[in-house]
Amino acid sequence: MSIHTEKFAEYLKYDVAREGQPLQRMVFVPHPLAGEPSTVLKQYVNGKDPTTGKPVMQEIIDALTKPLSVVETKTGISETKRVRLLEPDTEDNLRQLFNKNGWTDGLPIVLPTEDKVAEMLAGTNRSPDEVVGKMFWSYTVEQVAVNAVMAGAKPEYFPVILALAASETPPLSTSTSSMAGMAVVNGPIRKAIGMNYEVGALGPYNEANSTIGRAWGFIARNCGGYQPWPERYCGSVGNPLNFSNIVFAENEERSPWKPFHVRKGFKEDESVVSLFGTGWSKIDCMGAITYRPLHEEALILMKAFPPSTPKATFVMDPTAAWKTYREGFETPEELAEWLKENIKWTVKDYWATDYVRTFVMRDAQNGIEPYATWLRLPEDELIQPWLYGRGIETVVVGGETNAFCQVYDMPYVRSISIDQFMPNKTYKPAEPGKDDPFINPVPGAVPIKPSEPKPPSKPSEPEPPSDDDCST
């Protein structure tokens, strides 16, 4: 039995059916909960379920005490039935059908004809009917190809798109916080398919970056079972990043540090995509680094994030990365550790954060440390809520027009090889019971024991921008 607010009634009924429990017992109370005084919340509990008109407390008692029906005892995942081909129709009618069924993002798509899907499949060594991943639903290589075509991607982008699909990491979320996802590509494929990792890499204008990110969203929605209809998108205000998410290549050549995928255990000549979990917050430094060191500016940015989930990712222009390097941080890990030690909150501000009270307070009350100790400290005491530096990552991208950095509340999830999906590569699946050498499933873990890579040669440090540059 579970209790929810009425705002999520339709989505939850769909969600539990998708999980194989179509008659899970649920009770609903009015919405919202956040920010409401305890007197109002008590009225919710003592009032009626807005979806049924029955008393909330009686529904809770019945749900906990009445025997389960035969249908309620069923378990297992409910795989949706998906036809391979639609009935022939005009182009306009088919576009309307795709929009009506929520298969698009509201923008025009490329209709996935058999010929176009076959062209996309030529971009990989995998069989069309191979199951390549699973989110809520499992999906095949061909189903991923359909969505890649819809997004406008080219066949040469398909290995990257398949790697995203195989990661089983969605860029969408059912959260009301309007989340989006991020993926970073490293290795030779960046240049081979023309990805942007210089000026404007996170913006529009680059076909590879944009269509790969758009395909990722389509895969989660249409193949993986995330929000297959617009009515079940829960983001309160929405997020424009959901159109193509944040997908770019790292500027390895202009970075003072080892490439991101090398720091995660892969070889420098491997093509890899790294996935970052969904987040909703981004803060820019605005180039304000003239009168204080960049690492101090980074500290100010980090203090703006809720400290309940201490994970974040810096996206630094090479100029900013070199400045940080010259400030004494020879690796991004050193920067992360310094930030962890220096991000401090007062006890009062920490426990006044809604997110902390919702998700951390119970741990403190149950005696879990250090939260239990923090709950007993004076309100003006300073604490270090970021418990480990490994939750702070840094990637380098940009065209050196400004010593610019951004920080996102998107945690690193995993890295996965793109090479295994290349059309000219031979794929050998992992043996049963052994780790897949193509996937790095645990942040910081090394999936295979590679030969020790040589440190990347450091390029000459960028010259300070002149008055003629377009920096601000």
Which pLDDT does position 80 carry in this prediction? 67
What tokens appear for 190 in the block?
């960046």
Q: Which residues contact 158 (CB under 8 A, 6 or more apart)?
A: 120, 121, 123, 124, 145, 148, 421
Tell which of 373, 395, 417 closes a domain. 417
Residue 166 and residue 134 share a domain: yes
What tokens appear for 150 in the block?
């819809």
Residue 115 and residue 65 share a domain: no
Tell which of 11, 44, 73 closes a domain. 73
Cα separation, 229 vs 296, whole angstroms: 44
Question: For the residues of 374-419, what is the DSSP string, one character each?
Answer: HHHS-TT-EE-----GGGEEEEE---SSS--EEEES--EEEEEESG
79 in a domain, yes or no?
no
Residue 138 and residue 65 share a domain: no
Contact present, 226 and 170 (Cβ < 8 Å): yes
Which pLDDT does position 39 carry in this prediction? 94
Cα separation, 215 vs 422, whole angstroms: 18
**Whole-number Cα distances in Å, 359 to 35, 85, 425:** 15, 45, 45
436 in a domain, yes or no?
no
Residue 257 and residue 318 share a domain: yes
98 in a domain, yes or no?
yes
Residue 194 and residue 45 share a domain: no
Q: Burial, 332: exposed, middle or buried (Cβ in 10 Å; 0-12, 13-18, 19+)?
A: buried
261 in a domain, yes or no?
yes
**Whole-number Cα distances in Å, 25 to 6, 28, 71, 374, 413:** 14, 10, 12, 37, 33
Q: How is the chain split among helix, strand and coil, in percent rounded to 5?
A: 35, 15, 50
Domain count for the chain = 2
Residue 313 and residue 229 share a domain: yes
Domain around 255? 91-344+384-417
Residue 117 and residue 56 share a domain: no
Q: Could you give the count of Cα atoms lying within 13 Å of 315 in the half-sphere of its Cβ? A: 28
Strand partners, 408: 282, 313
Residue 223 and residue 162 share a domain: yes
Q: What are phi and psi of 350, to 5 degrees?
A: -60, -55
281 in a domain, yes or no?
yes
Q: What are phi and psi of 412, to 5 degrees?
A: -65, 135
Q: Return the beta strands (E) in 102-211 as ranges.
A: 131-134, 138-140, 180-186
Residue 34 and residue 116 share a domain: no
Angle at 357 between CA 356 and CA 359, to 5 degrees: 65
Tell which of 417, 435, 467 closes a domain. 417
Least Cα distance to 392 among 317, 328, 333, 330 occurs for 333
356 in a domain, yes or no?
no
Strand partners, 274: 184, 415
What tokens appear for 407 in the block?
């920080």
Least Cα distance to 98 among 120, 113, 81, 116 occurs for 113
Q: Which residues contact 218 (CB under 8 A, 6 or more apart)?
A: 103, 104, 105, 147, 148, 150, 151
Q: What are phi and psi of 217, to 5 degrees?
A: -65, -40
160 in a domain, yes or no?
yes
Which DSSP letter does residue 447 get?
Answer: S
Residue 114 and residue 65 share a domain: no
pLDDT tens-place values along the chain, 472 residues long: 899 999 888 778 777 766 666 678 999 999 988 778 889 999 999 999 999 999 999 999 999 999 988 878 777 666 667 788 899 999 999 999 999 888 999 899 999 999 999 999 999 999 999 999 998 889 999 999 999 999 999 999 999 999 999 999 988 876 777 778 999 999 999 999 999 999 999 998 999 999 999 999 999 989 988 765 566 677 777 777 778 899 999 999 999 999 999 999 999 999 999 999 888 788 888 655 667 888 988 888 888 887 766 789 999 999 999 999 999 999 999 999 999 999 999 999 999 988 788 888 999 999 999 999 999 999 999 999 988 778 899 999 999 988 888 999 888 999 999 999 999 765 555 565 555 545 543 333 333 223 333 333 444 454 443 334 333 3
Q: Burial, 156: exposed, middle or buried (Cβ in 10 Å; 0-12, 13-18, 19+)?
A: middle
Query: Residue 158: which H helix or E strand, with range?
Result: helix 158-166
Residue 170 and residue 48 share a domain: no
Q: Could you give the count of Cα atoms lying within 13 Å of 244 in the half-sphere of its Cβ? A: 22
470 in a domain, yes or no?
no
Residue 173 and residue 29 share a domain: no
